[in-house]
Amino acid sequence: MQPRKPQQIARELALLSLSQLPVNPKKLDKLADDQLVSKLVLGAVRTLTSEVQDTLDNAAGELQRSNDRILSSQTRASDLNSARTMLQEAIACTQTAINQLGTAVDFPELIQLANQDKGVRNYAKELVITVNENRHIIDELLSSALVDWQVTRLAQIDRDILQIAVAEMKFLAVPDSIAINEAVELAKRYSGDDGHRFINGVLRRVTEQKKQHSTAT
């Protein structure tokens, strides 16, 4: 596995801390380097813990429903098929939780790099601040790219990945292809099985609409 670049580490740190940051993002600029890293890492730990717990809760719910369906059925094929589907959903949720927990192995490296590399912590800070200051604009762009869906209904981790990617494309002059590829890689690490495909599709519609708007103007 190739070592990740500072901006890739920064994106991951920003993603994980974005929704659970224990301080107003506007105050990040005023923090000393060690304080900045500690706040970002605390937010990251909170997010990962919350995501894993939610996923495991979903898995437990599907397992219980599957068990109830089997116990209450009279071996009808439709009941057994329904129970099998619920069981498969539970297994998928559990696998996602395992993947999310697996990323915690990288935490010591992430913290070390954030402490040692000014570029990592500064870009993570820039991403968090940019998303928070421009969330309304970013969500409008995402809303127009979502088909029969709303930004507020997205899973938190998917919404954060999309917001970071759009922030990079719209406000930080990151080439569309790079922002999309990096978002897809984050989704593979933290979202469900189909999460990266969904993220890729939404972001490609964002870029298509941006090109249409540029042509029209």
Q: Tell me the average pLDDT across 146-161.
A: 87
Burial of 181 by CB count in 10 Å (0-12 exposed, 13-18 middle, 19+ buried)?
middle
Place of tokens 């984050």: 186
Helix and strand tally (H, E) in the chain?
Answer: 9, 0
104 pLDDT more than 70: no
214 pLDDT more than 90: no
Q: Tell me the average pLDDT across 92-100.
A: 74
- Both tokens of 132, joined, read 């928070």
Q: Which residues contact 46 (CB under 8 A, 6 or more apart)?
A: 20, 22
pLDDT in tens, 111-139: 787 888 888 899 999 999 999 999 999 99
140 pLDDT more than 80: yes
pLDDT in tens, 53-93: 877 787 788 778 777 777 676 556 677 777 778 787 778 77
2 pLDDT more than 70: no
Give the pLDDT confidence score for residue 66 in this predicted structure.
77
In eight-state DSSP terms, residue 3 is: P
Closest CA to 191 of 144, 143, 158, 146: 158
Q: Tell me the average pLDDT across 166-185.
A: 96
Give the pLDDT confidence score for residue 196 in this predicted structure.
92
Give the pLDDT confidence score for residue 213 in this predicted structure.
72
Instruction: Indicate the range of 4-8, 19-23, 43-47, 90-94 predicted with least confidence.
Output: 90-94
pLDDT in tens, 23-63: 888 888 888 888 888 888 888 888 878 877 877 787 788 77
102 pLDDT more than 80: no
